Every structure is written in structure tokens, then in C-alpha cells.
Amino acid sequence: MFIDEARIRVKAGDGGNGCMAFRREKFVPRGGPSGGDGGHGGDVVMSASLSHNTLIHFRFNPEHKAQRGGHGLGSNCSGYAGEKITLKVPLGTLLYDDDTGELVHDFTRQGDEIVIARGGRGGRGNQHFATSTHQAPREHELGRAGEERNYRLELRLLADAGLVGYPNVGKSTLISRISAAKPKVANYEFTTLEPNLGVVSVGEWPHVQAFTVADLPGLIEGAHLGAGLGIQFLRHIERTSVIVHLVDVSDGSGREDPVEDLKVITTELKSFDPELAAKPTVIVAAKIDVANPEKLKKLAASAKRRKLPFYAMSAVTGEGIEELKYAVAEMVSLHRPIALEEEPIEVGKLKPAYPPPPSSARRRSK
């Protein structure tokens, strides 16, 4: 189940109370105050994790509470500090304050970690209140309460390229051919009810370039007003570097003008966010194995007028898929916001996961 929105309530641990105690020991009359401090409450921490790709673990477990601090003890012993809890979220998660609507943090990098609720400070024991004129204080402090906050989580997929288009134009079939993703494929509209992510590899090792592709549910006219699946999934292409727009050029769609299909989906993207229409776009004529030549020619001419890259492919026969993969990979490398510069690993220079055993151990094994 793909869950991309959740609301949670977090409560940091309360601080422990300070202790009021006096030293009672043989041969030590008037030992004085010896009350220890209370321990600090545990924090609630949120961090980005690659092992999560949905917010489903928050949908059914919305409340999270850290451990409170221990109370102070006699003999100047402080209470234990409460343990923090760490909440894992997938990359691309936006954290909003549910009470004010303010954006708190955007988890875009692996290892991003912030404290979303701070634990309360422990109270001071009566040892801190002793003075030269007040040598037997009975004052001590209570621990402070930990922060309690309400948050709203919103997941936006971090994909390099996004597949958009009308329902049943072949987006799911394409992502299943170019990656290891296995989305549901069927001959009816709105087969895809949730985004699917796939990793595409281009080139030969060690010079392999990889990029991620998001297959989004189909759009129809009026999607930005709630038609079809509405704008529920449009936010997942806001972070993409390249938009791959698939247009059905066969006669099986029931729509006569592919240029009008292109115009309608572009208008929906622009109505949702004007910046989406300005993203680098690739026009792809889908289902060319059963294409109507007139539709294919008309769509190619429209892409040329718009000065947009145009490719024709068939996800069934595989025709044109390799050319499309290399073209998208090149556009992603040019327009990716954050370029990860990694030195290619030369053949024979890979380090083993575990060091080899000593020579003496190898001799004994023989």
C-alpha cells in the first residue's frame, strides 16, 4: 500500500524530578543536602532512510512518545536520561507543523536528521540550593515537560524522470521494460493507482549511468479540478528533472487527435504548477507497432514546432526503447539539480567486503 500523507503526534520525554535528601551516615552529623538532579527526557528525532519508500508505518501508528528521565536519588545521584526515539521517513518527505502549516524540514539527503521534539530538562536536587545561611534546604525542582507537537508528513518522490500521459498509453509497460519494476499492466484505464519507481541503467560497466523513473497514474482533462484521480499524485513529479510525455498514436484509445492529447496533459501540468510546464520534456509516441501513420506524423510535426525531442517506441516489441533510454539519461545528467560526482571504479580495484585471511590461515585451510 502506497501512503504518501500522514499525520503524527509526538511527545518528548519529561524531565525527572530533583530529589530532596540529606546525608545520613555514621559519624557524619549534619551531613547536609545530597539530593541528585533528575535526568533529561528523551528527544524525538526524525531521519531520512533509504529503506523506506512509503509513510504507511505512520498511518497506523500516529503517536510516538520518548522515554521520560529518571528522578534524582540521594547521595547526589542523578536520575537516568530518557532514551530518544528515531522515526524513519523516506527520502523526499516534507515535514509540516500541522498547527501552523509551516514547513519544518525537507528530507532530500540520506542521513538528514533533525530533532522534532526536545525532551524536558531534569529538575535540580536540593544540593543546589544550599548556601552559607541556608544549609538545610528543602527546595527541589520538578522536571520540565517535554515538547508535544503535531506534524503532517507529505511524501514527494525523488525521481529523475517522470512518465506522464493519458491512462492506458503504456507507461507501466514501458517502466517494466526498462527497469526491474513490476507494476500492474492491464488493458483498461486507471490500472495504475499509485506511483511506481524503477531504476534504469544505461551503458556498460564500469561506465554505467543510472537514473530513477516514476510511473504516475494517468491524467485526464480536468485533473487539476479533481477529475479522475485528480491532483493526488501530481506533486510526485515536482522534483523530477525530466518529464517523459507518452502519447498514444494507435486507434485503440478512442481519441482522434494526439496533438490535442499532448495539449490537454500539458495544460493540466501547467494548471497544477506553472513550473512543471517549463521542465525539460521528451515527447514519446507510444504503441508504434499498431500506430496510425497519420497520427504519428502529426505528433512528430507538433513536437518539431515546439522544439521538443521526439522519439517513437513500442513497449511490446522493444522498438525504440534503447534510443529513448539513452536520450533520457543524457537529459537527466544535464538537468539533475545535484550532480553526484563519483570517480569510476577501475577493473581490479574493487576492495573485498572482508579482508583475506592471513597466509598462515590459508595454509592451514589447505
Q: Judge whether 291 and 250 are in contact, CB under 8 Å.
A: yes
- pLDDT score, position 178: 83
Distance, in Å, from the CA atom of 297 to the CA atom of 176, rounded to the nearest integer, reads 27
Q: Which residue carries 519529561 as its cell?
A: 14
pLDDT band at residue 184 using 50, 70 and 90 as cut-offs: low
Pairing of strands 113-117, 44-49: antiparallel
Pick the CATH number of 161-335 from 3.40.50.720, 3.40.50.300, 3.30.300.130, 3.30.360.10: 3.40.50.300
- pLDDT score, position 73: 94
All cell numbers assigned to 249:
498514436
- pLDDT score, position 194: 65
* pLDDT tens track for 92-110: 899 999 999 999 999 988 8
| pTM for the model | 0.69
pLDDT band at residue 365 using 50, 70 and 90 as cut-offs: very low
Distance, in Å, from the CA atom of 110 to the CA atom of 47, rounded to the nearest integer, reads 8
pLDDT band at residue 366 using 50, 70 and 90 as cut-offs: very low
Q: Going by CATH, does the domain composed of 5-155 fall within 1.10.3720.10?
A: no
* pLDDT tens track for 187-214: 545 555 567 777 888 877 767 778 888 8
Residues 6+ apart with CB under 8 A from 209: 201, 202, 203, 329, 333
* pLDDT tens track for 276-333: 878 888 999 988 888 888 989 999 999 999 899 999 998 888 888 889 888 888 888 8
- pLDDT score, position 181: 66
- pLDDT score, position 337: 63
| Rounded mean pLDDT, 152-167 | 84
Q: Judge whether 247 and 266 are in contact, CB under 8 Å.
A: no
φ, ψ at 362 (rounded to 5°): -65, -40
Distance, in Å, from the CA atom of 259 to the CA atom of 4, rounded to the nearest integer, reads 32
* pLDDT tens track for 19-34: 999 998 888 888 899 9
pLDDT of residue 222 exceeding 80, the answer is no
Q: Do domains 5-155 and 161-335 have the same CATH topology?
A: no
Query: Where are the chain's structural domains?
Result: 5-155, 161-335
pLDDT band at residue 152 using 50, 70 and 90 as cut-offs: very high
- pLDDT score, position 291: 85
Q: Which amino acid makes up residue 239?
A: R
pLDDT of residue 11 exceeding 50, the answer is yes
Q: Judge whether 87 and 112 are in contact, CB under 8 Å.
A: no
All cell numbers assigned to 359:
597466509
